[in-house]
Structure 1
């Protein structure tokens, strides 16, 4: 491929490799959040046994779980291990899958853009107002909202990366993604 068309494919390939590498790193980091959540829950159980009140345990475990699945969502999509309705999909040729995935990705991208915009506005509000949880512990909400919005933005980037790969496969120019 030469000229502008070659530049478009090289740019798309560079974009997908960069996004895939970023989300692989974030996803591998997110796996460790389960260990943190386990430690928090073990502390909650142990603190009850020694009669120490820990009002923060349940909410901290919830925040950690939210961080885990939102930061790990893009990596899950990249690896193709998310839940999919597989009644017809598994019987299609790879090129047909890519065409259908390209079409449905548009709706996913629209949805994720709305989530990122809403998350951005909610995060800005939490930062400006010093928003706190209504629980007894009353932690600031901005950190968890920043993590949530970041996770949704990473999922949006991964969706765009997957769309680039699907279009390339559908047009007969699959990207080499073995090293990402």
Structure 2
């Protein structure tokens, strides 16, 4: 084996190790954040139950309940999006996909995930811009409660960023599977 070929093999193995490490860490973070997000359903349910009790039993409507539950729902699905993608629990059009071989699916997924990456990059840039704006100008919602918007915008932007990282990890997994290899 020539020295140049040996160097290429070493570089490929280093790249493979770096990609494998990236996928492992991103998936660990996605799993941890996703499992945390799963439990947001309980405080959201408690808030809505509190609102119902206050309105029905005591006749006292609370104006912040709907907004707070909407904020929590947004955090719930945006923080859980990366974990959902990792588990393959997202919606897929299965007209021809189920008839493909696993290798063909991986090749198809490798191309389609590039569109998702592009979309998430655009969404993330807009999220960062919107969060910066809301922090700079202390943006508040135009309601009676008038909460600051930067906390939920920051959470949403973080969820989009995590989804972007998980999508890139999914791309690496698909490319490895299309090549007949596995990322451990």
TM-score norm. by structure 1 comes to 0.95
User: CA shift at 1:103, angstroms?
Assistant: 0.5
Tell me which structure has the larger Cα radius of gyration: 2
CA offset digits 1:66-115 (Å, max 9, x no partner) = 00000000000000011100111111111111101111111110100000
Match of 1:141 in 2: 149
Indicate which of 39, 46, 59 corresponds to 2:46. Answer: 39
- Structure 1, unaligned runs of 5 or more: none
User: CA shift at 1:62, angstroms?
Assistant: 0.4
Indicate which of 113, 129, 147 corresponds to 2:137. Answer: 129
Q: Which range moved further: 75-84 or 1-10?
A: 1-10
Q: How many residues align?
A: 176
Task: Please give the alpha-carbon distance, in whole angstroms, between the structure 2 residues aligned to 1:2 and 1:155.
Answer: 32
Task: Please give the alpha-carbon distance, in whole angstroms, between the structure 2 residues aligned to 1:93 and 1:118.
Answer: 37
1:86 matched to 2:94? The reply is: yes
Match of 2:34 in 1: 27
Task: Please give the alpha-carbon distance, in whole angstroms, between the structure 2 residues aligned to 1:12 and 1:137.
Answer: 46
Task: Please give the alpha-carbon distance, in whole angstroms, between the structure 2 residues aligned to 1:55 and 1:93.
Answer: 53
Match of 1:155 in 2: 163
Indicate which of 155, 172, 178 corresponds to 2:180. Answer: 172
User: CA shift at 1:50, angstroms?
Assistant: 1.2
User: CA shift at 1:172, angstroms?
Assistant: 1.5
Match of 2:71 in 1: 63
- Structure 2, unaligned runs of 5 or more: 1-7
Task: Please give the alpha-carbon distance, in whole angstroms, between the structure 2 residues aligned to 1:53 and 1:78.
Answer: 40
User: CA shift at 1:51, angstroms?
Assistant: 2.6
User: CA shift at 1:171, angstroms?
Assistant: 1.1
Match of 2:16 in 1: 9
Task: Please give the alpha-carbon distance, in whole angstroms, between the structure 1 residues aligned to 2:76 and 2:98.
Answer: 29
Moved over 6 A (4+): none
CA offset digits 1:31-65 (Å, max 9, x no partner) = 01111110010010011121333110000000000
